[in-house]
Amino acid sequence: MASIKAKRVLESIIKILFFAFVLYLLLGIYVVNLGYDVEMNHTIQAGLYEGEEKLEDVTIEVEGTFRNYFFQRDTYEGRFAVSCLPETMTEYAVAHIHWSEDRYGVFPSIRYLDRNPDHTGLQFLDTNGNYGINVLNKDMTEIVWRTADGNYIATETAYGEWLAERTQ
């Protein structure tokens, strides 16, 4: 009889310790917010391409925060101003970039919001519509971005590699 009670007490202690450990992990994730931020502030030198022909030089100003947290993986928020896309160059344009991964690869998507206090936070450019980022590394130094008119904003190295993959 005493061994049955001791067994039940031991089982109860194990359950309490297990739930305490789970609670500790959840609090660690929400309170401590396991992960890291990387502040980014640089310029990407790229070009506007029609096919293999470079039409003009393009600069992309990157100034914001790349976040990689347990529940918020691989996101960027901040300035991502592309010189040939005037709507991205305003002081109120805020880019939200997210990298999704599946069995076919990594897929970046970008959405811009207009944070002008005179507007209603209107979304004005979304790459899930007419625009499509084909390549954007997480260091934000290499890009291939299809524009609405079918041209590409791209760094030379990334565009060359991307074209080579498409012709194979």
What does the chain look like in DSSP terms, one character per residue? -HHHHHHHHHHHHHHHHHHHHHHHHHHIIIII--EEEEEEEEEEEEEEEETTEEEEEEEEEEEEEEEEESSS-SEEEEEEEETT-GGGSSTTEEEEEEEEEETTEEEEEEEEEE--TTS---EEEETTTT-EEEEE-TTS--EEEE-TTS-EEE-HHHHHHHHHHHH-
Sequence spans of domains, the chain: 1-32, 35-167
pLDDT for the residue numbered 130: 47
Q: Would the pTM count as exceeding 0.75?
A: no
Q: Compute the average pLDDT of residues 145-155.
A: 88
When mean pLDDT is compared across 18-27, 51-60, 148-157, the lowest value belongs to: 18-27
Mean pLDDT (the chain) is 82
pLDDT for the residue numbered 50: 93
